[in-house]
Amino acid sequence: MKNPLLVDFSTPFSTLPFEQIKTVHFLPAIEHEIDVTLKEIDTICANTAVPSFVNTLEAIEKSGAKLGIISGALFNLNSAETSTELQEVTQKAAPLLTKLQNDIRLNATLFKRIKTVYEGDTGNLSVEQKTLLEKEYKGFVRNGALLNEEQKNRLREIDQELAKLSLNFGENVLADSNAFSLHISKEDDLRGLPDSAIDMAKQMAEAKQLEGWLFTLDYPSYVPFMTYAENRELRQQMSHAFGQRGFQNNENNNENIILSIVALKHQRAELLGYASHAAFVLEERMAKDEETVLSFLNDLKDKSYPKAKEEWEEIQVFGKDRLGYDKVEKWDTSFISEKIKQERFAFNEEELKPYFALPKVLNGLFDIVEKLYGLSFKINAEIETYHPDVEAYEVKKEGEFHAVLYADFHPREGKRNGAWMTSYRAQSEGVRPHISIVCNFSPPTKEKPALISFNEVTTLFHEFGHALHGMLANTTYGALSGTSVSWDFVELPSQVLENWCYQPEALALFAQHFETNALIPQDYIDKIKKAGQFQQGLQTLRQLSFGFLDLSWHGENGPKINAVKAHEKAIMQPFQFSEDSPESCMSTAFSHIFQGGYSAGYYSYKWAEVLDADAFELFLEKGIFDSETAQSFHDHVLSKGGTEHPMKLYERFRGKKPDPKALLKRAGLVF
């Protein structure tokens, strides 16, 4: 039987033939392409010609192309449409791919060729070629090329163990998430919940052949419950279940995995001559070092703390005087905050939902992107997808094919929580990208289309900003394309696009009542903009606490930590006004830093917010659909990927360095 992964894809735009691919195809295909890649590397090493950029760097860049597509598909599916069988295959594939990466990075002959080019005359190379050369050289050095054989072997062991532990961490969080559900049989327990949440819970119960209503830890179910449910005991139950992911006395416990990951990352950093994993990571970021990051976070903390304290006192007073709570607990904050917001702005998120039917929001987003960057989107039923919920779009620019976009919007059992953008094929010279956005939005019901919250609208725009970074990429080399940029720059395109959600001119394109087509009232728009600053002190403090927690795990003292919960409490408590919940632990489900790529980099969300607030001020000044400004952002940011240092790219677009005051002003923390 032919393996569909090992033949040329006879599909539109050479997209993955998902309908033909079975789980059993992945491992043999990966093993085969690993052999192919090693032969390609051997050919480069055996070349007797003087090492040059073309016969060494370009050749390395082109090697393993098919393997990248196959392994990328495996890991993407393991996040979006997993199964026990797929997880087993991923567990077997991860160490093989890590070994290959080490076989390449620790190949002394290959590194010698790269070093020869790096230390030679590079005057005739383009800016992009120089960037690729520097990235490859540093990549080899930062992955052990200068180590002795004993050290290289230890590095291999560490990397393979980390690959396994990272996968185990994510699988444990997903398993605990799927294991819990709140089954409600009494209608009285639904008091306060909006119809949309009740309808969705009813539908979920029916799918499990249960009477009543079913609530889960998926965000579209969990968030409305914690925000609106009047039954305080049930909110507490949901909060504990959410906080216990990876923190229970069962086979999914992540505490020892965290300690192992932290210790191994530190050992790896020390092996390479760094004081900590954070020092290793930050060397290649815009921030450069831990001191700069801590200074940045502390500055924002100082500016946001007074406002946050004031906001917390308001929550306490409301809870005591209006709800009769002796003490406001963690599971009360979202509920009370929503009550305050409803009174202050005379509206709630649920009132807005009828104006945000997902199909209309998506079409409006397409209109905005077409106005800004000239892209058009059309569903192409000929493009195969990995699940019936997924839609595939053919993306065109100036009438010509430009990209493929997969859109996967609703929760299901085999899909991890959250929202993300990923790539099935990167852009490079002559190759257009295949991009995917994956979210977990409130699904449609039998009676209504998917009506999403305003928060989900901003999430959609956020992930679409990442997708634009991928779809509009226009570089020579895939290694520098799209989101292949400094991690503290990668959030700029995503966060800047969120700003359009608050602009009347943009809202007019998609915020229409799903039944009447009436445009969202102007007073709602005014309230949305005012509500955008609601409790920004607390929100900022919360994000900063995650950044500090991340750095505490990955700084010099990380390996000295021996109790996950005790450490987390010590770091987080100064940022939290509610009492700590002993049953809950954030670290054991902190997938961003223990499964994803944000270790020692979670600060980058706030770092990029400074960039996006400053960048959007130019759009406000010139007009949010100003073609010249949009073209400049396209030319200097979206299309350039990682071809130059990000600050150079940003300054070319903005004409100056970013000003942090723009963020503080937008958040209402300074005036």
Query: What average pLDDT does range 605-619 have in this prediction?
Result: 92
Query: Where does residue 430 rank: exposed (0-12), middle (13-18), buried (19+ CB within 10 A)?
Result: exposed
399 CB-near residues (< 8 Å, 6+ apart): none
What pLDDT digit, counting tens, does each position of 415-457 carry? 988 899 999 999 999 999 999 999 999 899 888 999 999 999 9
Q: What dihedral do alpha carbons 128, 132, 134, 139 form, nearest 10°?
A: 160
> Residue 326 in contact with residue 579, Cβ under 8 Å?
no
Query: Where does residue 452 rank: exposed (0-12), middle (13-18), buried (19+ CB within 10 A)?
Result: buried
- Catalytic-residue membership of 651: no
How confident is residue 662, by pLDDT bands cut at 50, 70 and 90?
A: confident
> Could you give the CA distance from residue 422 to residue 642 in angstroms, rounded to a whole number?
16
Could you give the domains of the chain? 4-146 (1.20.1050.40), 180-243 (no CATH), 250-346+533-671 (1.10.1370.10), 354-532 (1.10.1370.40)
What pLDDT digit, counting tens, does each position of 265-286 carry? 999 999 999 999 999 999 999 8
Catalytic residue among 463, 491, 609, 617: 463
CA pseudo-torsion sign 83, 88, 91, 97: negative
| Residue 608: Cβ within 10 Å count | 24
What pLDDT digit, counting tens, does each position of 211-238 carry? 999 999 998 899 999 999 999 999 999 9
> Could you give the CA distance from residue 620 to residue 512 in angstroms, rounded to a whole number?
24
Task: Look up residue 133 and give its amino acid.
Answer: L
Q: Are strands 434-438 and 400-408 parallel, antiparallel or unpaired?
A: parallel
Torsion angles phi and psi, residue 22, rounded to 5: -110, 160
Mean pLDDT across the chain? 95
Does the pLDDT of residue 671 top 60, yes or no? no
> Residue 488 in contact with residue 287, Cβ under 8 Å?
yes
What pLDDT digit, counting tens, does each position of 20-62 carry? 999 999 999 999 999 999 999 999 999 999 999 999 999 999 9
Query: What average pLDDT does range 548-570 have in this prediction?
Result: 97
pLDDT at 528: 86
| Residue 519: Cβ within 10 Å count | 17
Does the pLDDT of residue 347 top 80, yes or no? no
Does the pLDDT of residue 130 top 60, yes or no? yes
pLDDT at 79: 95
State percent of the chain over pLDDT 70: 100
Helices (H), 185-244: 195-207, 219-228, 232-243
43 CB-near residues (< 8 Å, 6+ apart): 59
What pLDDT digit, counting tens, does each position of 475-501 carry? 999 999 999 998 889 999 999 999 999
> Residue 386 in contact with residue 75, Cβ under 8 Å?
no
> Could you give the CA distance from residue 392 to residue 221 in angstroms, rounded to a whole number?
26
How confident is residue 1, by pLDDT bands cut at 50, 70 and 90?
A: low
> Residue 3 in contact with residue 25, Cβ under 8 Å?
yes
